[in-house]
Amino acid sequence: MDVENKKPEVLMVSTDMNGKGGVASVVSTYVNGGLLKNYNIKFLVTHIEGSNINKIFNFICSLFTLSKFLISRKCRIFHLHTASRSSFLRKSLISWLGIAFGKKIMLHLHGGEFMQFYNDECGSLMKWYIRSTLNAANQVVVLSSQWKRNIKSIADKANITIIFNPVIVHNNRVDFTDKNILLFLGKIGEGKGFWDILNALSLIKETHRNFILKYAGDGEVEKAKLLINDLGLESYTEYIGWISGDKKQQILNQALIYLLPSYNEGLPMGILEAMASKVSVITSPVGGIPDVIDSGVNGLLVKPGDINALSQAIIKLLDSESLRVSLTNNAYQGVKLKFSVDVVIPQIEALYYKLGAR
């Protein structure tokens, strides 16, 4: 018998790992980090980039594909990666189908707006459905201690385990530039604090001219360009589109400071990737970030919306090489100990084993 066929089989349900966003990045990191070595992971893509029609058609097709895993005796575990809103609705449907066919359900929660979705956007019936789905799962995986408290507060019977997002740790930086590169990676808009970044930079551009903000991602790109124009930041900014893989690593290797002053978060892959690439991090104490960043030790934390504090934090790092070196060294060592694929993937495998994929 083929060695591959002897591996325990797990169905991993997620967005397209080659697509955009944090979940895609997490899943691709699991794959590139070696999760397939010991387990025969089958993938079911329930979300793709493109028009709404294409997304709906893909999901309908994925349900037909799901049927063979529902009746398969080899596939015992459904590992479902979900965020909130439509993502949760898709995965919860598959979760209940899996339960009906005797599968073990591992619900892996991502996305910083889940509690906002639950508290502010759901009526009593939808809240009951969410609670029931969480409580019915054999295992709920969250990204931080705060998220464990959040989920426990709405689903007190849920079996919750904290597993941090994984990152591939790079040995050293190889690229340098003669201009201080500030870097933003993510959805361009208010939620990730991008408007705050621009307003903070407008406060320091007269005294600290030797910087450029390189920003990558999707979202409100045209609105960003208008605000950049209004603030006179054209010569201080560069939009580099959506990047991933080698291109993302190349820009991380060049960056001096990574900026993510978000209002809501799960556990951002961008922060972990920056720390693993020895880039100084300025972010905010929301979601799972306080489990990662100890302000003044391995990064700097500023409250969301505090533009003056953000500008002062940027100045502090631009002006002090010794502080940057101290923060990045501490961050790099911490990432290796807690967030590297060598640490995180065995934790996922341990849950698979616990759930019966032997």
Closest CA to 197 of 212, 216, 184, 179: 184
| Matching fold, domains 3-166+341-354 and 180-338 | yes
For residue 332, what pLDDT is reported?
Answer: 95
Write down the architecture of domain 180-338 according to CATH: 3-Layer(aba) Sandwich (3.40)
For residue 1, what pLDDT is reported?
Answer: 41
For the chain, domain boundaries: 3-166+341-354, 180-338
For residue 342, what pLDDT is reported?
Answer: 93
Alpha carbon of 5 to those of 2, 33, 102, 284: distances in Å? Answer: 5, 21, 21, 45
For residue 175, what pLDDT is reported?
Answer: 56
Q: What is the pTM of this model?
A: 0.89
For residues 332 and 299, give the distance between their C-alpha atoms in angstroms, rounded to a whole number.
Answer: 11
Q: What is the mean pLDDT of each run of 10 residues along the chain (358 residues)?
A: 63 90 89 89 92 92 96 94 94 98 97 92 98 98 94 97 92 66 96 97 93 96 97 97 90 95 92 95 95 97 98 97 96 95 95 83
Reduce the DSSP state of residue 258 to 3 states and report it. Answer: strand
Take residue 17 and report the two structure tokens written for it: 């790992």
Alpha-helix residue ranges (DSSP H) falling in the chain: 3-6, 22-33, 52-71, 86-100, 114-121, 124-136, 145-154, 194-204, 221-230, 245-254, 269-276, 307-319, 321-338, 341-354
For the domain covering 3-166+341-354, report its CATH number: 3.40.50.2000
Take residue 4 and report the two structure tokens written for it: 């591959």
How many CB atoms lie under 10 A from the CB of residue 232?
11
